[in-house]
Amino acid sequence: MSQLETNAVTETHQQIVRFGHSPDADDAFMFYAIAKGKVDTLGLQIEHVVEDIESLNQRALKAELEVTAVSFHAYGLISDKYAILSSGASFGFHYGPIVVSRMTDLSNDLAGKKIAVPGTLTTAFLLLKLYQPNFIHEVVPFDQIIKYVAEGKADAGLLIHEGQLTYGRHKLHKVVDLGEWWDAKTGLPLPLGGDVVRKDLPLETQRKLAAILKASIEYAFLNRGAALEYALPYSRGMNPALVDEFVAMYVNEYTLHYDDKARKAVEKLLEMAYKAKFLKKFVKPQFIEPL
């Protein structure tokens, strides 16, 4: 058998793994090396599924994808089906999802207000419920919330992703930064989302995926310019400097690997959700280490 035929047989026997991630600059930065073939995928064929985080959360409820990015709020509902890869998390440090309004006098009084939210399974929504349980929510695609609030269709909007940096352009005002609130309440980094792997995969495959993702993030850190250039089309109009700032906010040392403090933060979030009766059971997170 020729080398070409051998390679063809090898390729046909590669296990296809669907990996869901959101169309955002920070996720694109992390997945640059995988997408461009810069890291060894250890005999696995990675098929990218790019959808907004709430869609991925909903798919995770049905365990559709082998690996996917999810909100930690959603993880509390899928921990029987998925474990957390030890790389790929988004943590905030004294910052996080922001509630904005056209009104400068809304202050922190959100009770009874109509708030546009990016999805009820997002960690941002959970944090807002923990902060103020009594409001009226309306689900609006995350990249349309700023316009929705600016047009007066809601009293306030809950912003994730790049909206946290760009809302001022639209004459909106910050009501509360839920990352600042979380920091004052817990003193821990704010766990927003992570990558999870289906538990029905062989453990070796799960650990391979953990290794691949960690290698991809390491490559991006070492080749930041190229990774940022790849991420730019996913930034919805941000200039390169702002993309760099946004990626730096959410791709950090905890993205490469959870330490004890990061794991404690995930446990704390899930514990608070359980005590507030937003989760039916307390979930102890399970992490998968790389090979």
Catalytically active residues, by annotation: 161
57 is written with which tokens?
């959360």
Cβ–Cβ under 8 Å, residues 84 and 196: yes
Q: Strands, E, within 43-113: which ranges?
A: 44-50, 67-71, 82-85, 90-92, 98-101
Determine which helix (DSSP H) or strand (DSSP E) holds 160, and give its type and residue range: none
Q: Are strands 82-85 and 190-198 parallel, antiparallel or unpaired?
A: antiparallel
The C-alpha R_g of the chain, in whole angstroms, comes to: 19
What tokens does 180 get?
A: 């600042």
Specify the DSSP element, H or E, that contains 16.
Answer: strand 15-21
**What is the Cα–Cα distance from 209 to 30, expressed in whole angstroms?**
14
Length of the chain: 291
Helices (H), 36-156: 53-61, 72-78, 123-131, 145-150
**Inter-residue contact 194 to 116 (CB < 8 Å):** no
